[in-house]
Structure 1
Amino acid sequence: MRNVTIIGAGSFGTALAMVLDTAGNKVQIWAREKDIVDAINSEHRNPNYLQDLELPEHIKAYHDLETCLQDQDMIVFATPSHTLREVSAKIKHCLDGHEILVAVSKGIENDTFMTMSQVLIEVMEGITYEDNIGVLYGPSHAEEVALLKPTTVVAAAYSSRTTRLIQEIFMTPMFRVYANNDVIGVEIGGSVKNTMAIAAGIIDGAELGDNAKAALMTRGLHEMKRMGAVLGAHADTFAGLTGMGDLIVTCTSTHSRNRSVGFRIGKGEKLDDIINSMNMVAEGIKTTKSVRDWSVKNNIEMPITCAIYKVLFEDVDPKDVLYELMTRDPKEEIAI
Structure 2
Amino acid sequence: MLTGIRQFGSYPAEDVIFLLKDLSSLSIETDTGQRERAIQSGTHYSEMLPVEYQPSQEYMELYKTSLQQSKQKVAIAVGVVAEQILQRRGENLVLVSLARAGTPVGVLIRRYLKQTYNLELPHYSISILRGRGIDENALRYIYKKHQESSIVFIDGWTGKGAITKELTKSIKVFNEKYNATLSDELAVLADPGHCSTLYGTREDFLIPSACLNSTISGLVSRTVMNPKWIDKGDFHGAKYYKELENQDVSLHYVDTIASIFNEVTNKITARLNSIKEEDITPTWEGMSSIHRIQDHFNIETINLIKPGIGETTRVLLRRIPWKILVQSKDNAQLDHILYLANEKGVPVEEYQQMSYTCCGIIQSLEKIE
Which category describes the TM-score, using the shorter chain as reference length? 0.3 to 0.5
The structure carrying a bigger helix percent of its residues is 1
TM value normalised by structure 2: 0.33
Structure showing the higher strand proportion among its residues: 2
- TM-score, normalisation: structure 1: 0.35
